[in-house]
Amino acid sequence: MSYKFKRVLLKLSGEALAGEKGFGIDFNICKRIAKEIKELKDNGLEVGIVVGGGNIWRGRAGRGMDRTTADHMGMLATCINSLALQDSLEECGVITRVLSALEIKQIAEPYIRRKAVRHLEKGRAVIFSSGTGNPFFSTDTAAALRAAEIEAEVILLAKKVDGIYDKDPMKNYDAKKYDRLNYIDILNKNLQVMDSTATSLCMDNNIPIIVFNLDVEGNILKAVKGDEIGTFVNK
Ligand code: UDP
């Protein structure tokens, strides 16, 4: 099988791990995602993963709270998700390291770029947890940042819809799907796919993004094989 990419960065939202419940972690979903990641590894791909935390806590939910504290809680939520995914990956035989942008060294290695790259080269999956380690950022931005740092060839942005639409397809039956888009279109049209900081970082560093539906089994592999699924974003 010939692949279009060698090193990829998979971005999973926290919601992706929650399944139908919409909150917390559904371990059946974790296992299914882990199996799909294993398929990538079995085919020789190097896989970095950034997991969100929205299934547990989002900083902006902390109304009336100090925003920085609320964001610290969000970053800790990403750690919980990262450990859950690590467990599912290791259960299906994928050696996995969690690297944290916040220091929690009893449970995860500190994030060091060269360490991350070494783990990838040795065939380990690497989960980047705690986002960027800074409040006022998102895990989409963390995905763009880590992708740039590890020189990933693409960001695989897993969603609950099958690509980018001109308006919310859940609410608008006439929403139109884009097969291809430029970063600048996302910014100009204010399309709700990634926040503007993350989109700009991808644009400035020329990192392509594939937005696809994670709920369809086998889609992660299809995305890296270069099958035309979802929406492809570049300059
Ligand atoms: N967060 C943060 N800095 C980061 C990444 C995340 O403060 O670099 C916090 C922020 O509060 C965010 C929460 O962690 O709301 C969970 O991340 P996100 O909302 O990106 O998760 P997702 O929507 O992907 O599940």
Q: Is the per-residue pLDDT at 3 higher than 80?
A: no
Q: Is the per-residue pLDDT at 21 higher than 90?
A: no
Ligand 1 centroid to residue 213 C-alpha, Å? 20
Domain residue ranges of the chain, discontinuous segments joined by + = 7-234
pLDDT value for 231:
97
Q: Is the CB of 54 under 6 A from ligand 1?
A: yes
Residues 7-234: name the CATH superfamily. Answer: Acetylglutamate kinase-like (3.40.1160.10)
What percent of the chain is modeled with pLDDT above 90? 93
Confidence label for 4 from pLDDT (cuts 50, 70 and 90)? confident
Q: How many CA atoms lie within 13 A of 43 on its CB side?
A: 19
pLDDT value for 226:
86
Quick: pLDDT tens for 116-159: 999 999 999 999 999 999 999 999 999 999 999 999 999 999 99
Q: Is the per-residue pLDDT at 2 higher than 70?
A: no
**223 near 212, Cβ under 8 Å?**
yes
CA-CA-CA-CA dihedral for 149, 224, 193, 229, to nearest 10: 160
Ligand 1 centroid to residue 138 C-alpha, Å? 4
Q: Is the CB of 135 under 6 A from ligand 1?
A: yes
Q: Tokens 């902006």, residue? A: 60
Nearest CA owner, ligand 1 atom 22: 52
Dihedrals phi, psi of 94, to nearest 5 degrees: -100, 115
**126 near 97, Cβ under 8 Å?**
yes
What average pLDDT score do residues 83-91 get? 98
Is the dihedral angle over the CA atoms 110, 111, 113, 119 positive or is it negative? positive
- Identify which of 13, 56, 67, 75 to mutate to test ligand 1's pocket (most ligand atoms within 8 A of the CB): 75
Quick: pLDDT tens for 166-201: 999 989 999 999 999 999 999 999 998 999 999 999
Q: Is the per-residue pLDDT at 68 higher than 80?
A: yes
Q: Is the CB of 138 under 6 A from ligand 1?
A: yes
Average pLDDT, the chain: 96
Q: Is the CB of 62 under 6 A from ligand 1?
A: no
Q: Is the per-residue pLDDT at 1 higher than 80?
A: no
Q: Is the per-residue pLDDT at 75 higher than 80?
A: yes
